[in-house]
Amino acid sequence: MSELGKHLITKKETDVLATEYEKTNYAAINTKRPATKPDSKYYTYDLEVLQEYINMIREGMEKTGIKNKGIRITLGKYPEDHFDPRLNSAYSGYQTIFFSPEDLDSSKQKISAGTDDREGLPNLNFGQICPPY
């Protein structure tokens, strides 16, 4: 049975979280950046791409016997210099997120940088970041 209801929050609750982030972490991050280039605040992904990725990692984890499948969202930052030809060059130097498959039952030590190759499955990146718009 789905436990989705235990994870849903209201617009009012999201406003609290977003305001708290903006007043604290986001404000601190932007003290180190030019005023004309505030860091990214949110990230968007095409729903079809995200669904395809979820389906791919679900199938891959099932093949390796992982029972409690999850997805990790890790914060990262694009380097100022060339990173990958698929990257929108306007995103250089901005914070990003990337997705990774996660075995929620794993007793392995978690790698804090989120860069381990979980079960040989790829990670997902290259959504849109705002700003820049």
What average pLDDT values come out for the chain (133 residues) when binned by 10 residues?
Answer: 90 98 97 94 96 97 94 96 91 96 76 54 95 78
Q: Is 70 part of any domain?
A: yes
Residue 74: which domain range?
A: 38-130
Other Cβ atoms within 10 Å of 70 Cβ, number:
15
Cα 5 to Cα 2, 22, 69, 108, distances in angstroms:
8, 27, 18, 29
Q: Quick check: pTM over 0.95?
A: no
Pure H helices in the chain: 11-21, 27-30, 47-63
Long-range contacts of 109-118, Cβ-Cβ distance < 8 Å, separation of 24 or more: 113/74, 114/72, 114/74, 114/76
Q: Looking at residue 1, what is its pLDDT? A: 60
Q: Is 112 part of any domain?
A: yes
Q: Is 48 part of any domain?
A: yes
Total number of domains in the chain: 1
Q: Is 66 part of any domain?
A: yes
